[in-house]
Amino acid sequence: MKHIFYKEKIKLNRILLAVIIINAAVLIYTFFRVRVGIMLNEPSGIWLDIILRNGIFYSKVETALYVSALLLGVMQFYPEFERKRFRLSCHLPLNEYKMIFYTSLFGIIVLTVLWLIDMAGVVLLASQFFPIDIYRAIPLVMFYWYINSLIIYTFASSLTLEASWNVKLRLALMMAGCIWAFKMEVYNSSLSYAVTAFLFAVFYCFSIYFPALRFRKGL
């Protein structure tokens, strides 16, 4: 796992820098947007609008997280597909299932770290301008964004690694329906729903084994 992670880090060096810059830029933009809005308007009016769920002031962070997931999913596996390196890697003295698991785990870990940074940044920002009733709900809302980002990452990875265009199209049709399954823009949901959503995302991530093993066998 250590060597696979090191290989992925070298391969994705520029992409990692790009997604960090994208997410940092969105957080900075959100900070100044909120700050200017508070300065030019009555804060209580903004708070009331948010509490009534008419808008989420950090919604652009959601887009940044999804773009990051898409970039990671495509760029992590495109070089493996284009240069046929993935099939060679599957013949290394390592169980091929473990190799696929560790490779995708690297992308998921990067995505998780990005999400945690985004969430910490948004909560810190919100604590400067909003009452606790608003920013204590942020982790739950962003948790569903994280689940969607995992689904987008798996979707992009699977389609990138699938070699056959016919199978790629059928795979896209089957997997696409789940991308926005947990698009949440509300401030409350039950714990059981959150756990169910997370378990669904975990099982969804195993979809990458289908194109990975097909590619390994030359199908």
Q: Which amino acid is present at 50?
A: I
**What is the DSSP annotation of 179-209?**
TTTT---SS---HHHHHHHHHHHHHHHGGGH
Flag whether pLDDT at 152 surpasses 80: yes
Flag whether pLDDT at 110 surpasses 80: yes
Confidence of residue 207 (pLDDT cuts 50, 70, 90): confident
Extents of the domains making up the chain: 2-216
Residues 6+ apart with CB under 8 A from 12: 72, 75, 76, 110
Compute the distance between CA of residue 148 and CA of residue 77 in angstroms, rounded to an integer. 19
Average pLDDT of the chain to the nearest whole number? 80
- For residues 91-97, average pLDDT: 65
Cα 24 → chain centroid: 15
On whether the CB atoms of residues 78 and 13 are closer than 8 A, the answer is: no
What predicted TM-score, i.e. pTM, was given to this entire model? Answer: 0.82
Compute the distance between CA of residue 93 and CA of residue 126 in angstroms, rounded to an integer. 50
Compute the distance between CA of residue 219 and CA of residue 143 in angstroms, rounded to an integer. 37
* Helix extents (H) in the chain: 2-11, 13-40, 43-51, 59-82, 85-89, 96-129, 132-135, 138-161, 165-176, 191-205, 209-216
Flag whether pLDDT at 22 surpasses 90: yes
Q: Of 23, 22, 13, which is closest to residue 142 (Cα–Cα)?
A: 23
Flag whether pLDDT at 203 surpasses 70: yes
